[in-house]
Amino acid sequence: MASSAVSAQRKVKVGVLGATGTVGQRFILLLAAHPFFVIEALGASARSAGQKYAQITRWKQSKPIPEAIRDVVVRPCEAEHFKDCDLVFSGLDHDVAGPIEESFRAAELPIFSNAKNYRRDPLVPLVVPLVNTDHFSIIPHQKASLSPSPSRGFIVANANCSTTALVVPLAALERAFGPLDTVLATTMQAISGGGYPGVPSLDILDNVVPLIGGEEDKIEWETKKILGGINADATAFEYHESTPMKISAACNRVPVLDGHMACASVRFAKRPPPSPEQVVEALRAYRCEAQELGAPSAPEQVVYVHDEPDRPQPRLDRDFQNGAGCNVGRVRECDVFDIKFVVLANNVQIGAATSSVINAEVAVLKGLL
């Protein structure tokens, strides 16, 4: 079913949890003019509930609050106040997201979450929409494993922002050339990845901080869940165990507003490895299910490979394709492994809310709702 068919058939009513935060604000901008998602409800903390959205939100986006949203009365983040929604997006902070998202699932509301709480749950698909929407196949088992078993409710998590940037080109390479044996990645991550108000100015101006708590472990663990398959009866993730992959990440916070970059070196399991020219061809040819289904927020090109020797760059390339794709450059031979390259992704778009929106689009287009 194409997106135009969904639009012609009916609008899909959606809610946004954590609507006053920076991730929630991104959700609102993405959804305000969506072809078939319609914002039905906005949820925030108890102190904000009952008030008009514009009155209680510290808006931090470059575009203004959509007019249709300004006077929407914010609701408590309780499932009973979202019963008129077909699905719900969660931009909640991780310290409160877990039990709230679980309560929504139990109340038969599908949740597409940007929070980290369920990423390691063995029943929850961790989905980068440009890579592994086939992992939605575990959703029936997720429902069946719960007591009581929901008929409609489920949770889908999207990945950490730095993981998202890295796994897209890795997925393209594995599809074209088989399993990767070793991945070494050094990230340069924007300050917006730390949320608002983020890193203190005296810590980041004229500086690079060589530690982002928990980030390296997230990349090393999440990549295996995302790139690994699902068993034959769609009841468990494979975590890349059939073809073991070694991953080492070093993460740094840099004084850039938006856009996470990683310098990656990879070694292929199959010998001889592909040439840089073959790698570039494979990256440019890579397509994903979201594109094939006609998901309206999917990028035209999943991986855009730059020919210029000094690209990609955050300031110049992070908003290309509305920040929904990945930018790769400097593809060349590696004297230690096989191939090395640079990848850039917009951490506040495909690294956050845009991933959840495309995940939900794919779920609708596949009839999962």
What is the bridge-based pairing of β-strands 339-345 and 326-333?
A: antiparallel
Nearest in space to 168 (alpha carbons), one of 316, 352, 351:
351
Instruction: Give, as one character, the DSSP assignment of residue 319.
Output: T
Q: What's the rounded Cα separation, in Å, for the pair 330 and 332?
A: 6
Side-by-side strand order, sheet with 12-17: 75-76, 37-44, 12-17, 87-90, 111-113, 155-157
Q: What's the rounded Cα separation, in Å, for the pair 274 and 257?
A: 35
Q: What's the rounded Cα separation, in Å, for the pair 220 and 228?
A: 13
142 half-sphere exposure, CB direction, 13 A CA radius:
25
Q: What's the rounded Cα separation, in Å, for the pair 368 and 360?
A: 9
Residue in 34, 77, 135, 161 annotated catalytic: 161
> Is 260 marked active-site?
yes
Q: Are 40 and 15 in contact (CB under 8 A)?
A: yes
Residue in 34, 135, 240, 260 annotated catalytic: 260
Burial annotation 80-119 (CB, 10 A radius, 16+ → b, else e): eebeebbbbbbbbeeeebbebbbbbbebebbbbbbbbbbb
Where residue 362 falls (left for φ over 0; alpha for ψ -120 to 50; beta otherwise) is: alpha
Extended strands (E) in 10-127:
12-17, 37-44, 75-76, 87-90, 111-113
CA-CA-CA-CA dihedral for 253, 255, 256, 262, to nearest 10: -40
What is the bridge-based pairing of β-strands 155-157 and 37-44?
A: unpaired
Instruction: Give, as one character, the DSSP assignment of residue 52.
Output: B
Question: Please, what is the angle between helix 215-227 and helix 161-177, to 10°?
Answer: 40
Q: What's the rounded Cα separation, in Å, for the pair 296 and 277?
A: 31
Active site residues: 161, 260
